[in-house]
Amino acid sequence: MEGLSSDPRRWRDVDKLLSRPGNIVGQDFEPSPTLREDIGDVVRVLVVGAGGLGCELLKDLALSGFKNIDVIDMDTIEVSNLNRQFLFRIHDVGKSKAEVAAERVMKRINGVNITPHFCRIEDKDLSFYNDFNIIVLGLDSIEARSYINSIACGFLEYDEDDRPLLETIKPIVDGGTEGFKGHARVILPGRTPCFECNIWLFPPQVKFPLCTLAETPRTAAHCIEYAHLIKWGEVHHGKSFDADDPEHMQWVYLEALKRAELFGITGVTFSLTQGVVKNIIPAIASTNAIVSAACALEALKIVSGCSKTLSNYLTYNGLDGTHIKVTDFVRDIDCLVCGPGTLLELDTSTTLSQFIGLLGEHPKLLVSKASVTYRGKNLYMQSPPILEEMTRSNLQIPIFHLMDKVPKDTLHISGISEKNDKKASCLRKLRVVFKGVADEALKMDTTESS
């Protein structure tokens, strides 16, 4: 089975799709018998996540002709992963998911080059993400999706009439699974709804009343959440709980067992403890395979134009048969992430430090610990310490003098936002106008033209 792509018949169907015209192809599609090879040589794909869905995505993308793939994942392989994450074996337990997955796919499919990154997505800078032509998500976290979405939308630029510049669009194909249900969607920033536009699609996380946890627990989940939310703080006095630390999770599991025995409750297991604390929903291998196939096909359609892309949200339900539906959601033109940017009017005397303070008070933004970037230049960075020290002197300079004084000029902000009592990393785009400057520029333009 090794060297699966060495047989030229392997590419017969893909080449047929890319080498002939059709009635639903993209407007820029140019069929060619060498198009698959051209895509493989030129296009760079980033797969975010190497879990159940990520393993399927790596395999499907490689078997669709993509040759230059990177994969990023911070997790290591656990025994519980082996029932659905088919690229892993028992002797891989404890190793990096990204590294093992990359090695397995390259061993099976000739000609593909997969570069693994064993780290958090926040550990990579913007230039890393800008190197890719398309980003494919196989994530199980709303926060991680939101972060990658804000990264991709941060590259988007608009013209003077607030129309997106096509060459700055960074496509995202997002897949997700929950048991027998799943979704695939296409995000073309500035043209289709981004993740933030449709954040309401995700139901709020189930929360238990603290009084129930503390006084009258009735289920195994109540006991686990008691150990996680109440007992941990009582015992560890301010020490933050890390859901990715095995020792922390083991402690919560043992405390939950004690709690369950005290109230005569059964069903507390280590696996359930992980599921409750991390809000994990059991994964089904067949759902991962179906959603991955949809995502890989959309990625191929985006880079080749061989067919019109999904418009724009596909849902799959395999609980009672096979039900697939496509919904065309509408983009929020005032979206803080994929829109032209929140307009902010400043005095020319406003210092960078004062500007950063305003971000935390703005009713729409509410960004704290903000770092500010202007046209690729760091005006102020909260971290790492060496960059903070290098940019600290800018804080007392009027921001007007740190920019090119162009009307409606754009700033990029990274920091921490808070929603529903949860803090998360975020990126925001602002259009800055200085009081009186736009009027003066308009007068100058009028004078020159006359």
Cα–Cα distance, 307 to 44 (Å, whole number)? 20
E-assigned strands of 65-200?
68-72, 113-117, 134-138, 172-178, 181-187
Q: What is the pLDDT of residues 278-330, one digit of tens each?
A: 776 667 889 999 999 999 999 999 999 999 999 999 999 998 888 999 999 99
Is 197 catalytic? The answer is: no
Q: Which of 153, 194, 197, 211 is catalytic?
A: 211
Neighbours of 339 (CB within 10 A): 23
Whether residue 4 is predicted with pLDDT greater than 60 in this model: the reply is no
Of 285, 290, 293, the closest CA to residue 322 belongs to 290
How many CA within 13 A on the CB side of residue 289? 8
Tell me, rounded to whole angstroms, the distance of Cα 105 from its chain centroid.
23
Output the pTM of the full model: 0.74
Instruction: Report residue 192: phi and psi, to 5°.
Output: -120, 165
Token pair of 225 as six digits: 């959440």
DSSP string, 248-300: HHHHHHHHHHHHHHHTT-----HHHHHHHHHT---B-HHHHHHHHHHHHHHHH
Whether residue 447 is predicted with pLDDT greater than 50 in this model: the reply is no
Q: What is the pLDDT of residues 75-101, one digit of tens each?
A: 999 887 888 899 999 999 999 999 999
Tell me, rounded to whole angstroms, the distance of Cα 289 from its chain centroid.
20
Mean pLDDT of 366-387: 83
Q: State the amino acid at position 6 in one-letter form.
A: S
Tell me, rounded to whole angstroms, the distance of Cα 403 from its chain centroid.
30
Name residue 432's beta-bridge partners. Answer: 344, 409
Neighbours of 358 (CB within 10 A): 14
Cα–Cα distance, 20 to 37 (Å, whole number)? 15
Cα–Cα distance, 323 to 6 (Å, whole number)? 36
Cα–Cα distance, 185 to 291 (Å, whole number)? 10
Taking the alpha carbons of 234, 237, 238, 240 in that order, is the dihedral positive or negative?
A: negative
Mean pLDDT of 189-200: 89
Tell me the pLDDT of the chain averaged across its residues: 86
Of 224, 210, 231, the closest CA to residue 257 belongs to 224
Q: What is the pLDDT of residue 407?
A: 60
Cα–Cα distance, 29 to 389 (Å, whole number)? 50
Cα–Cα distance, 250 to 271 (Å, whole number)? 10
pLDDT category of residue 154 using cuts at 50, 70 and 90: confident
Q: What is the pLDDT of residue 142?
A: 83
**Structural domains of the chain sorted by starting position, each given as residue range(s) with its CATH number in brackets:** 4-203+282-327 (3.40.50.720), 210-278 (1.10.10.520), 342-449 (3.10.290.20)
Full strand arrangement of the beta sheet holding 422-434: 342-346, 422-434, 409-419, 367-374, 377-380
Q: What's the CA angle centered on 376, arms 165 and 394, to 5 degrees?
A: 135
- DSSP secondary structure code for residue 394 in this structure: G
